[in-house]
Amino acid sequence: MSMDIQSSTVEKMKSVRAAWEKASPGPKRDAAMTHYQAAEKAQTAKNDADCVKSLNAATQALA
C-alpha cells in the first residue's frame, strides 16, 4: 500500500466523519455511520479499496 493512498484515505475518513457530525439526526445519518464503521474496519484490515467504497457509500447516504 502506498503512503499516498493511505494518507488520502485518512483524509477522506476525516472529511466523511466531519460531514456526519454536521448532519441532522435521522435515518440518513444512521446509514452513513454504518458505512463509516465498515470503512474503519476495512482500514484496520489494510483494505483501502473497501475502505474507500464504504466512505463513498457513507457520503451518498448523507446526500
Task: Say how far apart CA 51 and CA 40 lie, in whole Å.
Answer: 7
Q: Please give the residue that has the higher pLDDT: either 25 or 3.
A: 25
Percent of the chain residues past pLDDT 70, beyond the cut: 90
Q: What's the whole-model pTM score?
A: 0.86
Mean pLDDT, residues 22-31 taken together: 96
Task: Say how far apart CA 25 and CA 51 lie, in whole Å.
Answer: 24
